[in-house]
């Protein structure tokens, strides 16, 4: 956690920084369940601001969005709910309607995961 904070403070890491697979720092934090750090990144680089990632980032092959990833979070914590709220606020209706390669919206994923917080 300290290393990421140090990299952000030095300007060496932005929310939109991507790896060779095209995933942003925010994507990886959400995908690996580091939601407290995801909130730190969103506090530091709010959507729409310099250095921010996209609220509509999607996996190139699976076409999952951040919302799809968040609905699979287990356990679904207050931090997950806050990240979800911020992504929804920034992405709007486009995010609600987005379907992954399996044809699922994030709500379909929430139902399959029995994620009652989202539902």
pLDDT at residue 92, rounded to an integer: 87
The b-or-e profile of 19-43 (16+ CB within 10 A means b, else e) is eeeebbbbbbbbbebbbebbbbbbe
* C-beta neighbour count of 117 within 10 angstroms: 15
Confidence of residue 119 (pLDDT cuts 50, 70, 90): low
Distance of alpha carbon 45 from alpha carbon 13, whole angstroms: 11
What is the mean predicted confidence (pLDDT) over 23-29? 94
Between these two residues, 112 and 102, which has the higher pLDDT value? 102
Rg (CA), the chain: 14
- Which pTM does this prediction carry? 0.90
């Amino acid at each position: 956690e300290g290393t990421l904070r140090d990299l952000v403070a030095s300007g060496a890491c932005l929310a939109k920084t991507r790896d060779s697979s095209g995933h942003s720092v925010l994507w990886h934090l959400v995908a690996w369940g580091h939601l407290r750090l995801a909130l730190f990144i969103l506090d530091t680089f709010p959507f729409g601001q310099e250095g921010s990632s996209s609220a509509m980032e999607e996996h190139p092959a699976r076409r999952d969005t951040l919302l799809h990833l968040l609905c699979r979070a287990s356990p679904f914590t207050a931090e997950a709910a806050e990240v979800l709220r911020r992504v929804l606020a920034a992405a709007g209706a486009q995010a609600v309607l987005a379907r992954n390669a399996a044809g699922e919206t994030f709500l379909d994923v929430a139902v399959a995961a029995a994620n009652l917080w989202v539902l």
